[in-house]
Amino acid sequence: MFILPFHIDSIWVFKDSLNRVLFIKRENFRYVSSFNNGVARFNINGKCNFMDDCEGGYWGIMDYKGKILLNNLEWIGEFVGNYAIFQKDYKFGLLRKDGRIIIPAKLDEIIIVDSNFIFYRVGNNWGIANSKGYILYEAQFNSFIKLNDSLFLITKGGECDIFNRCEGNKFGIINKNGNFLVPLKFDGIGEIKDSFIEVSLNDAWGLMKLNGKLIIDVKYEDLFYLCSYVWFKENGKWGLMDLNKKILIKPKFFAINRIEGSNFIKTKIDEKWGLMNCNGKEILKNEFDNISYLGEGYFLVEKNNLKGVVDSFGKLIIDLKYKDISYSNGRFILYDGDYWRFKNIKFNYLEFVNGLLLAKKDGFFGIIDTNGITLIEFYYDSIKVFNNFIFAKKSNYWTLFNTKKVFNNFIFAKKSNYWTLFNTKFEKISENIDSFIVFENFLKFRESGKWGLISNNGNLFLDAEYDYIDSLDANGLIRIVKDGYFGLFDLNKGIILKPKYRFIYRFYKNVYKLITENNFNYFIYEN
């Protein structure tokens, strides 16, 4: 049930979303939360800001009928499911939404993972409990790290400093049922991949399945799992085996590197690099000085200081005859040492920038797209690209362009320190503008220290008479401030709340809290 609390003087009224009064309270509330799972938190006699940051007073909870379930606590946190953390006598405990204390206030810290799994701290050690208050593990662990929604890395046994940096730890992995999937005995643990995890003990590595079954014995100098195969290091060299421990490639590589963003492996013999896929099929022989991934199945290969490109099948796409090669969105830029080449056109300089190409030809800069079409003529002494904006300089003056055509409906002309705004019909919209900010559907401008609002098609929404104009929120509303008072503006409907409130903030989804000098209320926005 959705309930809106508001107060008039000392009388609190609680209404549903249809504006029907559910109950009235006369307690000296200073803060009341939204109702979560049928209960709300409240503070009495404290000093509270607009949210739940309260000093002093005491906290309690009530149900959707107004019945006080619990009070006289120092603090109550937000409910996670049916449970919330509370504080009393500077210690923490756990309570249920019906007001029942599940764990007494005797702990130094509590973290609710979900509605049935809790980490708690006593001194410097962590323990684990469930939401029923049953202690699964006494406080004995040094730390825990969330790996995913259901698994946690646990450490124990090392000596830790005040920053929880530990030496000599043992590592294990536990699930939210409190079961250790990886025993708490390993010196190191790698990433979880396909329900497999690399484990280390006594400077050796092996592979374990997340059911605790050891797949590859912990005896190798190094090891990593990739797409159902295991690369292992033995006697200083790397080889490949399958999950049945069958050796597919005897250790012969001096080094291997997984190419980031792909399932390919760089292999090194002596000082030369080759390329394999993750199941050990050779793509390139070990004859290159370097190999790197360009993206989309293309690899940059280098030999004798010259570069070329091969695809994921090892086919040579671009001959090894260039000093440098860049790639973006299916397009290559080639540098032969004298000129940059794109679509067989020579340039003095080329660079991919935000999906376009910054180019220099015959001593002047311009912009072309990835089809080779000139977007900005080769006329400028300098060009700088920042996000969606392009600044082009000629002599001592700059011209402003954009990459998303935001300004298509506007012309900005600057004289001295001020801008004049025209539409594309050369009709003056505003002048003496000292600042402006462009959004997708509108633009804010400041004139004589006040802000106004203009639509993207050049229509004036708001005159420049506001202290502040916000950006769009999730409901498509904009907060406006005039003479220190807040209001709300809709791009389609105009001003829906005049600026007369001391503060407005989005309380919950389409519900806004309206603060006045002596009161507050709620506003439900219906689009």
**Domain boundaries along the sequence of the chain:** 1-107
Residue 416's region, left for phi above 0, alpha for psi from -120 to 50, else beta, is left
The mean per-residue pLDDT over the stretch 139-155 comes to 90
* Cα four-point dihedral sign 113, 115, 116, 122: positive
Measured torsion, CA atoms of residues 223, 226, 229, 235, in degrees rounded to the nearest 10:
-20
pLDDT for position 408:
46
Q: Alpha-carbon Rg of the chain, whole angstroms?
A: 33
Q: Is the pLDDT of residue 519 over 80?
A: no
* Cα four-point dihedral sign 277, 280, 282, 286: positive
Specify which residues 39 forms β-bridges with: 36, 63
Per the listing, tokens 């049922």 go with 177
pLDDT for position 3:
83
Count of Cβ atoms closer than 10 Å to residue 292 Cβ: 14
pLDDT for position 157:
82
Burial class, 250, CB count within 10 angstroms (exposed 0-12 / middle 13-18 / buried 19+): exposed
Contact between 340 and 333 under an 8 Å Cβ cutoff? The reply is: yes
Q: What percent of the chain has pLDDT over 90?
A: 55
pLDDT for position 404:
47
Local confidence band at 418 (pLDDT 50, 70, 90 cut-offs): low
pLDDT in tens, 270-327: 999 999 998 899 999 999 999 999 999 999 999 999 999 999 999 999 999 999 999 9
Contact between 504 and 479 under an 8 Å Cβ cutoff? The reply is: yes
pTM of the model: 0.69
State CA 151 to chain mean position distance: 21
Closest CA to 306 of 320, 319, 290: 320
pLDDT in tens, 10-69: 788 888 877 788 889 988 888 888 888 889 999 999 988 766 788 999 999 999 999 999
Between 508 and 473, the more confident residue is: 473
pLDDT in tens, 461-499: 999 999 999 989 989 999 999 999 999 999 989 999 999
- Choice among 340-349, 354-363, 394-403, 417-426 with the minimum mean pLDDT: 417-426
Burial class, 514, CB count within 10 angstroms (exposed 0-12 / middle 13-18 / buried 19+): buried
